[in-house]
Amino acid sequence: MRETIVLSTPTREVLVDITHQVQEVVNRHGLRNGVACLYAQGATAALMIQENWDESVQTDVVNLLRKLIPRGVWLHDAQDGNGDAHLKAGLVGPSEVIPVIDGKLGLSTWQNIFFCEFDGPRSERRVVVTLLADQ
């Protein structure tokens, strides 16, 4: 079972909560127990499981990555000015695997799934969700 979530991003660097959309995919396919495998398409995007209670955590993630990987100092910037976005996406990573338990994503109380945009804004980004059921 596979489905693609399509979203847009409002700014150059932002974490977008996609937990609800992923749960809807699980619900539509009736998966009770198994795993949801998520993959962000795009070389300047990533996925992260992070705290959902306070938006300051998402802001802190973006600010940390800006400090670690600043804009405008990378060889790739000569091509299209987004060398930092590629490095941030590679560091965070394009995928997450989440258990599905009794029809619900197996996240803890304070965890959500975030699409990480590092080269926006973009009118269309895609996350491929592949569901695998327990035997």
Residue 135 has pLDDT above 80, yes or no: no
Let me know if 30 is exposed, middle or buried by CB neighbors in 10 A (0-12, 13-18, 19+): exposed
Q: Is the pLDDT of residue 69 over 80?
A: yes
The pLDDT value given to residue 48: 98
Give 3-12 pLDDT, tens digit per residue.
999 999 999 9
Kindly indicate the confidence band of residue 63, based on its pLDDT and cuts at 50, 70 and 90: very high
- pLDDT averaged over every residue in the chain: 97
> Model confidence at 71, in pLDDT bands (50, 70, 90)?
very high
CATH fold for domain 2-133: Jelly Rolls (2.60.120)
What pLDDT was estimated at residue 52? 87
Give the dihedral sign, CA 115/130/42/46: positive
| Four-CA torsion 63, 57, 55, 92, nearest 10 degrees | 70
Residue 35 has pLDDT above 80, yes or no: yes
pLDDT tens for each residue of 105-134 = 999 999 999 999 999 999 999 999 999 999
Alpha carbon distance 98, 69 (integer Å): 28
Total residues belonging to the chain = 135
CA dihedral 65, 69, 70, 76 (to 10 degrees): -130
pLDDT score recorded for residue 22: 98
